[in-house]
Amino acid sequence: MATSIDPGLLVQLKKYGVKDAATCFNCGNCTAVCALSTEATPFPRKVIRYLQIGAADKLLHSPEPWLCYYCGECSETCPRDANPGEVMMGLRRYLTARYDRFGISRLFYTSTVFEIFAILFIAALVGLGFYAFHGPIITGRVALNQFAASHVIELLDLAMLAVLSFFLLTNARFMARAILGDPNHYQREGIQWNGIPLGIYLGELKVLLSHFLTQKKFKGCGSKEQRRQWIAHLLIMSGYSIIFILVVVFLRWFQHDGILPIWNPVRLLGYYATFALLYGTTYAFWGRLRKTKTVYKYSHSSDWAFLILLWLTTFTGILIHFAMLLEMPLATYTLYVIHMMIAIPMLVLEVPFAKWAHLLYRPLALYLLRVKERATA
Ligand code: SF4
Ligand code: SF4
């Protein structure tokens, strides 16, 4: 098959954070040390070679960047300082932009000006929305559900969920087609091909679910440090998923004027999610500031945007809780608006177009590989 070559690929990828790939001389050391690389899906050397020769199509069809969990082992042993671990990270950003049919991801990752503008623009829209449509401001007691009626917020949450799911699933469908390949490919390989039976897709859904819920491949590199990172990652993911479900599906139980009893499961889940998010984001923040670990040495602007938005969302959530405990109505309403002005841009931009989408793409890549393996067997 003819491979189309894009001579400007290496330059293009610099904007996604791929800085040192040109220095790689293809010794294969990185692939040899990578505990997650297999015979069927060897990496990172192979994809680095693709980007060096400008094989953009081959990169698009490669699931390998999603199989790397960035332990940094390969970067530490690379004789050319090509930083293969960070190259894989940059490729995940690049692929996220390639899967995105709406072009937002590309703008978000390649232009810091757009990134800041998009965050501020959505935040301003949310602020204006509250300014124009907030309910009565009751100052005698905390009446958050009067100020922002939970049934209205719940409806808006569900509408937002539908829109974000549409974007994310459209992009995920494109990713699936890219990884599974077109039917002609199988014919060329001499495989009799009648499409993938639905039973295989359904039968392997457990792979998707188990990897999505546990992100267990993360600890496959085996080092102590990698295990710590996996825990931080799992805390962020579980904390965020719990808050997301509480806010989008169970808001009328979660958003209360009074404080729920300490043993109430909704309050306990809220505490767990807050702790998990605060610990996970602070761990990553500290790591990126200190830069002592290989995986935190380089930070793309989108890494900072993600962490700052997530940390501030958590922190303002805690402040709202304290303002309510101290019975401070005006502080509660003000903090609530600020909280929404941070949380909503993060959701709108990060879930379908940036870092949160990775949470789906990683297990999806593993699932698609399993489906492909069974279908071609
Ligand atoms: S990235 Fe480094 S270790 Fe990997 S093939 Fe290139 S030079 Fe060798
Ligand atoms: S960062 Fe770790 S998982 Fe990723 S390619 Fe390098 S050694 Fe493998």
Mutate to test the pocket of ligand 2, among 70, 87, 219 (most ligand atoms within 8 A of CB): 70
* Percent of the chain's residues with pLDDT above 90: 62
Convert the pLDDT of each residue in 131-158 to its tens digit.
999 999 999 999 998 999 888 888 898 8
What's residue 115's pLDDT? 95
Q: How far is the CA of 72 from the centre of ligand 2 (A)?
A: 6
Domains parsed from the chain with CATH numbers: 9-99 (1.10.1060.10), 108-376 (no CATH)
Convert the pLDDT of each residue in 156-188 to its tens digit.
988 999 999 999 999 999 999 999 876 665 566
What's residue 159's pLDDT? 92
> Rounded mean pLDDT of 265-292?
90
What's residue 241's pLDDT? 85
What is the pLDDT confidence band of residue 106, given thresholds at 50, 70 and 90? Answer: very high
Q: Which ligand 1 atom sits nearest the alpha carbon of residue 28?
A: 5
Mutate to test the pocket of ligand 1, among 45, 73, 74, 88 (most ligand atoms within 8 A of CB): 45
- Per-residue burial over 58-74, b if 16 or more Cβ lie within 10 Å, else e, is bbbebbbbbbbbbbbbb
The CB of 25 under 6 Å from ligand 1? The reply is yes
Convert the pLDDT of each residue in 191-245 to its tens digit.
555 678 888 999 999 999 998 888 778 777 767 777 788 888 888 888 888 888 8
More confident residue, 181 or 320: 320
What's residue 86's pLDDT? 94
Q: Closest-lying ligand to the alpha carbon of 74?
A: 2
**From 8-12, 80-84, 220-224, the region with the lowest mean pLDDT:** 220-224
What's residue 229's pLDDT? 80
- CA-to-CA distance for 135 and 144, rounded, in angstroms? 9
Q: Is pLDDT above 60 for 1?
A: no
> Rounded mean pLDDT of 355-364?
92
Q: Which of 251, 261, 258, 249 is nearest to 332 (CA)?
A: 258
What's residue 352's pLDDT? 93
Q: At 53, list the tokens.
A: 């020769």
Q: Is pLDDT above 80 for 93?
A: yes
Q: How far is the CA of 26 from the centre of ligand 1 (A)?
A: 5
* Percent of the chain's residues with pLDDT above 70: 95
Closest residue by Cα to atom 4, ligand 1, is 30
Who lines ligand 2 at CB under 6 A? 34, 36, 43-44, 68-74, 84-85, 88, 221
> Rounded mean pLDDT of 310-329?
93
Q: Which of 214, 210, 277 is nearest to 243 (CA)?
A: 277
> Rounded mean pLDDT of 296-315?
93
> Rounded mean pLDDT of 7-13?
91
The CB of 26 under 6 Å from ligand 1? The reply is yes
Q: Closest-lying ligand to the alpha carbon of 29?
A: 1
What's residue 196's pLDDT? 82
The CB of 27 under 6 Å from ligand 1? The reply is yes
Q: Closest-lying ligand to the alpha carbon of 30?
A: 1
Q: Is pLDDT above 70 for 189?
A: no
Q: Which ligand 1 atom sits nearest the alpha carbon of residue 84?
A: 1
Q: Closest-lying ligand to the alpha carbon of 23?
A: 1
> Rounded mean pLDDT of 51-75?
93
Mutate to test the pocket of ligand 2, among 24, 30, 36, 218 (most ligand atoms within 8 A of CB): 36
- CA-to-CA distance for 209 and 212, rounded, in angstroms? 5
> Rounded mean pLDDT of 245-264?
78
What's residue 376's pLDDT? 81
- CA-to-CA distance for 218 and 281, rounded, in angstroms? 17
What's residue 185's pLDDT? 58
Convert the pLDDT of each residue in 345-354 to its tens digit.
999 999 999 9
Closest residue by Cα to atom 7, ligand 1, is 24
The CB of 84 under 6 Å from ligand 1? The reply is yes
More confident residue, 254 or 193: 254
Q: How far is the CA of 238 from the centre of ligand 2 (A)?
A: 24
Q: What is the pTM of this model?
A: 0.90
Q: How far is the CA of 220 from the centre of ligand 2 (A)?
A: 10
pLDDT, mean over the chain: 89
What's residue 183's pLDDT? 60
> Rounded mean pLDDT of 26-44?
93
Closest residue by Cα to atom 8, ligand 2, is 34
Q: At 278, list the tokens.
A: 């605060």
Sequence-distant contacts of 329-337: CB under 8 A, at least 24 apart: 329/137, 329/138, 329/139, 329/140, 329/141, 329/142, 329/143, 330/137, 330/139, 332/142, 332/144, 333/134, 333/137, 333/144, 333/147, 333/148, 336/144, 336/147, 336/148, 337/126, 337/127, 337/130, 337/134
Question: Count of H helices and E strands in the chain?
Answer: 19, 0
One-letter amino acid for residue 98 of the chain: R
- CA-to-CA distance for 96 and 198, rounded, in angstroms? 26
The CB of 47 under 6 Å from ligand 1? The reply is no
Q: Closest-lying ligand to the alpha carbon of 49?
A: 1
